[in-house]
Structure 1
Amino acid sequence: MVDGTRFGWWSRIRRVAESDTISGLIMLGFALAGLLLANVPATTHLFEAIAETHVAVPSTNIDLPIGHWAQDGLLTIFFLVVGLDLKQELTTGSLANPRAAAVPMACAVGGMMVPPVLFLLVTWLFSTFGPASPGFAMVASGEVHAFGTLAQGWAIPTATDIAFSLTVLALFAKGLPGSIRAFLMTLATVDDLLAVIVIALFFSSLNAWYWFLGIAACAAAWALLVRMRRVPWPLVAIVGALAWVMMFEAGVHPTLSGVLVGLLTPSREMHGEETPRAERYKDKLQPFSALLALPIFALFATGVHFKTLSLAMMTSPVVLGIIAALVIGKPVGIMLTAWVTTHFAGLRLAKGLRLRDLFPAACACGIGFTVSFLIATLAYDDPELSGEARFGVLVASLIAALISGVLLSHQARTYRRRATGDERQTAVR
C-alpha cells in the first residue's frame, strides 16, 4: 500500500513535469519570485545572504556560492536532459532525416544570426548618440560603459527556450496542425545545440591540457558503463560527477558535461530492451530538470538586486538591445531564412504548411529564458550589467510570449473555422 502510494505520487509528479504548460509556468513563477525577493526591502538581505553562502567540495579548489551552484551545478541536470534529447532526435527523431528537417535547421541558424546584429546596433546607437561621451553609453544604474563592454553581451539573445516556447504553443495553439509544433521542436532542438557550441567556444577560458585527458577518460568510461547489460549506477554517478569536475577545472562551463555524457548514451534498443536508454533516462530525469533544477536556477538567475528597480530600467541600452533582438530579431531571422531556403535553395516545408503559418511560432522563439539567463551571467563581469541583461531577457521573453500567444490564438481560431467549413461542405455533398 505504501509502495503504491509512493509510486502514485511519483506518477503525478511526472505528469506535471511532462506538461509544458505547468512546468513552464512554475519556472516563470520562480523567476518573478527571485526578482521580487532580491528587491523587496524585507527580503533583500536574507535572499542575498543565502545566494552568497559558499559551499565547497572537499579536497578540491571548488568553492562556489549557492547562487552559482544553482547555475553551474543544478543546471547540469537540464543540460543532461538536453543532451539525451539531442541524441535521440539525431538518431531516430526529427533530426534523423536532414532533408526533412533542413528548413527548421536552417531557420535555427538564421534565428541566431540576426539577434546579435540588432543587439549590437541598439547598443552602438546609444553609445554614439546617447547623453554620455561618444563611444560610451549610460546604463540604468547611472554607470557609463564603453561600447566594447556592452558588446560582450552579443550572444545573450541568441537562444530559444524550448520549454517556454512549447508552453505558449500548448496554451494558445490548440487545433493547429502538428507540423507547426514539429517545426518549432526541430528548430528549438537545433537552437539548443548551437547555444551549447556558443557557450563552449566563446565563454570558456581553457586551462591546463591534462584536464581534457580527464574529460576524455570520463567520456569513455560513461560510454562503456551505460552500454552494459546491467548498468552500475553508483559508478555511473561517480563518473558523471568527475566529468563535471574535469570540465570545471579545464575552464569549460561545467554544465556542458551533461550534454557530453547525454550524447554518449545509447539511443537505440539494446539487450532486448523495448525502448532506447537515452529516451528512458530522459523521461526519468525530466521531473528533476523541470521541477527542481530549472525553477531554482530561475530563482537565483533573476534574483539580482538593482539600485533602482523602476521604469528607468526600460531605457537601458542593454535591456532595449535584448528586447529588440529577441522580440524582433528572432522572428525576422527565422522568417527571412525560411523564405530564402524555400525560394532559392530548393527546400520545402512540411506538406500543408505555408510560409506565413510559421510567423506566430517564430515569434515564440523570442522567448529566451534559461540559456539566455546563463549567457547573461557569463557575458558580463560587472554585476549591474549582468543584472540588467537578465532583466532584459525576462521582459523580452514575456513580450515575445504575449505576442506569440495572441498570434497563435488567432491562427488556431482561423484553422478551426476552416475545418468547420470543410466539414459542412462535406456534409452537403
Structure 2
Amino acid sequence: MTPRPPGQRPARRLFTPAGWPDTAFLASVLRTETVGGAILLVASVLALAWANSPWQQAYVELGRFVPWPGGGSLHLDLTLGQWAADGLLAIFFFVVGLELKREFVAGDLHDPRQAVLPVVAAVGGVALPALVYAAVNLTSSGGAPRGWAIPTATDIAFALAVLAVINSHLPQGLRAFLLTLAVVDDLIAITIIAVFYSEQVHPLPLLGAVAAVVAFGALVRSGRTRWWALLPLAAVAWAMMHASGVHATVAGVLLGFTVPVHTNRGSHPHLAEHLEHRWRPISAGLAVPVFAFFAAGVPLRGTDVGRLLTDPIVLGVVAGLVIGKSVGILGSTYLVARFTRARLDSGISWRDLLGVSLLGGIGFTVSLLIGELAFGTGSVADGHVKAAVLGGSVLAALLAAAVLTRRNVVHRRAAERVAGDGDRRGGRTVTRPADG
C-alpha cells in the first residue's frame, strides 16, 4: 500500500461507520415536528410553483412517468404519482400503525378515563365535517357527494409543526390532546379508505396479503427482526393488498399493528417505539413530501376563479375543514365534559382548545389522498379538491395560529407573574420583562 504523504488527510469513504453520526443527526432532525412540517410545506410550494410555470407540462409528464413499464403482473406498472400515493404512503401508514399500537397498549388511549375526551373529539371532528360537506353538496349533480370524507382527516405533521412553532408557554396537555386526537383521527381515516374507497375486492390476493402480514407479525413477535426477512414479507403484503383492490396503504397499517409494544422474551422491549423511531425520518423526510410534491401541484393558470369559488365541492371541503372540524372537535368535547365526569387537563382552557380544534382543520396528506380516490387522479374535480384542501388548510392554520399565539402570550404572562411572586417571597428583587 502506498504510504500517505505527511500532513495529507485520508480520503473519506462512503458508508463507513465514520459517517453514521451524521446519519443519526439527520434522522434526529427529521423527527422534529417543525422540520417535517417545513419539508412538507417546501414540497407543496415547489409543486404549486412548477405546476403554474411555463414548464407545467414537464411536471405533468414527470408524474405520469412509468419507471417499470410492462410490470403489470407484479403491480409495478405504476406512474411516479401512483408510486407516491400507493407505495411511499404505505411507509407513512406503517408509522401510523406503530403509533396507534403503542398508544392503545401503553399510551393515553390505554386508560379510558384519559382517552374519552380526545376520542370523542376525534369522532366529532370526523362526523361533522362529513355532514357539512354532504349538506353543501346535497343537491349537487354527478359524483360530488362521493367526496364526503375529504374534509374529515387531520394532517398531524402540519398541525404539530404549527403548534411547535407557536408554543413556548402553552399547557403541555394541549400537545397530548392533539396527538391523541390525531391518532384516533388516523384510525378512522384508514377505516374509511378501506371500507368506502377500495375497488372491487378480490379474495385470493387479499388472503395472500393477510398471510404475509401474519408471517411478518410472527417474526417480529419471535424476536427475529432481520431486515432481509421482514422487508420481503412487507413487500409481498403490499403487492397482494394492491392486487386485492383494497388500497395498498392499508397493508402498512396492518403491518404496524402486528409489532409488539412489549415482548414476552424481553429481548426487544418497546419494539413498536423502536421501529417508529427508525422509520419516522423516512416517512417525514421522503414519503410524505414526495407524495405532497406529486399531489399538490394544482394548475391555476387560466382557471375560472369564479367557477372554482362557487363549486360545491370546493365550498364543501373548505367549510368542512374550517368550520366542521373546529365545531365538531370543540362541540363534542364540551358535550362530553358537560354531561359526564370527564374533564380537561388542568391548565387547559376552552379558548386553548379552540385553537387546537382549528388546528384539526389542517387536512392535507390524507385529504389529498381521499380526493384522488374519490374523483380520480387528474380529473377536474380532483384539481378543485386540491385547491380546496390547500386553501382550507391554510385558512385553518392561520386562524389557529392567531388564537394560539394570543393564548401563548396569556400563559407566558401568567408564568411570569407566578415566577415574580415566588422570587418576592424568597426575598429577592425581580426584573420582569415587559409584555410585548
- Evaluate the alpha carbon distance shift between residue 325 and residue 229 of structure 1 in structure 2; reply closer, same or farther with a 3 A threshold: closer
Question: Aligned residue for 2:173?
Answer: 179
Q: Quick one: which amino acid aligns to residue 59 of structure 2? A: F
User: 2:221–2:263: 8 Å Cα contact kept in structure 1?
Assistant: no
2:57 corresponds to 1:60: no
Whole-Å separation in 2 of the counterparts to 1:272 and 1:263: 19
Match of 1:12 among 10, 20, 25: 25
1:27 aligns with 2:40: yes
8 Å CA contact 1:327, 1:400 repeated in 2? yes
Is contact 1:302–1:387 with CA below 8 Å preserved after alignment? no
Deviation, 1:269, is 4.5
Q: Letter of the 1:338 partner, please give it.
A: T
Can you give the 5+ residue segments of structure 2 that lack an aligned partner in the other structure? Answer: 1-11, 426-436
1:369 corresponds, among 342, 364, 369, to 364
CA contact (8 A) 2:44 2:293 kept: yes
Tell me the CA shift for residue 422 of structure 1.
1.9
Counterparts of 1:109 and 1:336, CA distance in 2: 11
User: Does the CA contact (< 8 Å) of 1:87 and 1:263 recur in 2?
Assistant: yes
- 1:309 deviation in Å? 3.8
Which residue number corresponds to residue 182 of structure 2?
188
1:295 to partner: Cα distance: 0.7
- 2-side partners of 1:376 and 1:65: how far apart? 18
Q: Distance in 2 between matches of 1:109 and 1:39?
A: 37
Residue type at the aligned position of 2:382: S
Match of 1:112 in 2: 126
User: Does residue 414 of the first structure (1) align with residue 428 of the second (2)?
Assistant: no
Q: Does 1:241 align with 2:253?
A: no
Aligned partner (choices 100, 105, 109) of residue 91 of structure 1? 105
Instruction: Tell me, in whole angstroms, the C-alpha distance in 2 between the residues paired with 1:272 and 1:109.
Output: 36
Report SS of the residue matched to 2:110.
coil
**Is 1:48 matched up with 2:60?**
yes
Size of the aligned set, in residue pairs, is 408
Equivalent of 1:36 in 40, 43, 49: 49
Q: 2:335 corresponds to which letter in structure 1? A: V
**After the TM superposition, which of the residue ranges 227-236 and 382-391 deviates more from structure 2?**
227-236
C-alpha distance in structure 1 between counterparts of 2:422 and 2:60, whole Å: 64
Partner of 1:340: 335
Q: Residue 132 of structure 1 aligns with which residue?
A: none
Give distance in 2, aligned partners of 1:47 and 1:247: 29
Residues 1:216 and 2:171 aligned together: no
- Residue 27 of structure 1 aligns to a residue in which SS? helix
1:352 corresponds to 2:347:
yes
The match for 2:3 is none
Gap regions ≥5 residues in structure 1: 125-134, 137-145
Determine helix, strand or coil for the equivalent of 2:327: helix
State yes or no: 1:70 paired with 2:66. Answer: no
CA distance in 1 between partners of 2:111 and 2:330 (Å): 22
| Distance across 1 between alignment mates of 2:53 and 2:172 | 43
Question: What does residue 323 of structure 1 align with?
Answer: 318
Match in the other structure for 1:140? none
TM-score (normalised: structure 1):
0.90
- Aligned residue for 2:297, secondary structure, equals coil
Amino acid paired to 1:355: W
* 1:96-147 deviation line (CA, Å, top 9, x unaligned): 11221110110000000111122222334xxxxxxxxxx55xxxxxxxxx1x
Q: Tell me, in whole angstroms, the C-alpha distance in 1 between the residues paired with 2:295 and 2:144.
A: 19
**Stretches of 4+ moved more than 6 A in 1?**
none
SS of equivalent to 1:353 = coil
Between the aligned partners of 1:383 and 1:306, the Cα distance in structure 2 is 14
SS in 1 for 2:78: strand
**1:44 to partner: Cα distance:** 1.1
Q: Quote the offset at 1:62 in angstroms.
A: 4.5
Partner of 1:143: none
1:90 deviates by 0.9
**Does 1:384 find its partner at 2:380?**
yes
Q: TM-score, normalised by structure 2?
A: 0.89
1:402 maps onto 2:398 in alignment = yes
Deviations 1:310-362 (A, max 9, x none): 64333332222211110111010011101110111332222333333211011
1:27, CA displacement in angstroms?
0.5
Deviations 1:130-178 (A, max 9, x none): xxxxx55xxxxxxxxx1x5211111000000111110011001211111
Distance change (3 Å), C-alpha of 1:339 and 1:58: closer
Distance 1:177 1:269 in 2: 34
Q: Which has the larger radius of gyration?
A: 2
Give the Cα separation in 1 of the matches to 2:270 and 2:75.
Answer: 38
Q: State the shift of 1:238 in Å.
A: 1.0
The separation in 1 between residues aligned to 2:371 and 2:26, in whole angstroms, is 31
The aligned residue for residue 263 of structure 1 is 257
Could you tell me which amino acid in structure 1 is paired with residue 86 of structure 2?
D
- Verify the 8 A CA contact 1:306 1:384 in the aligned structure 2: no
Residues 98 and 73 of structure 1: CA distance in aligned 2, closer, same or farther (over 3 Å): same
> Structure 2 CA distance, aligned partners of 1:26 and 1:78?
15
Match of 1:122 in 2: 136
Distance of 2:198 and 2:87 partners within structure 1: 16
Measured in 2, the distance between the counterparts of 1:367 and 1:231 equals 36
Q: Aligned partners of 1:166 and 1:276: how far apart in 2?
A: 24
Query: Does the 8 Å contact 1:115/1:330 carry over to 2?
Result: yes
Q: Which position in structure 2 is the counterpart of 1:139?
A: none
Aligned to 1:129: none
Secondary structure of 2:422 counterpart: helix
Q: Distance in 2 between matches of 1:51 and 1:90?
A: 37
Residue identity in the other structure for 2:233: V
Partner amino acid, structure 2, of 1:343: R
Farther off after superposition, 58-67 or 31-40:
58-67
Contact 2:74 2:239 in 1 (8 A): no
* Counterpart Cα distance in 2 of 1:349 and 1:166: 19
Change over 3 Å in CA distance of 1:347–1:308 after alignment to 2: same
SS in 1 for 2:108: coil
Contact 2:39–2:289 (CA under 8 A) maintained in structure 1:
yes
**Which amino acid letter does the alignment assign opposite residue 95 of structure 1?**
L
Q: Is the 8 A contact 1:105 1:186 kept in 2?
A: yes
The answer on whether the counterparts of 2:330 and 2:357 sit within 8 Å (CA) in structure 1 is yes
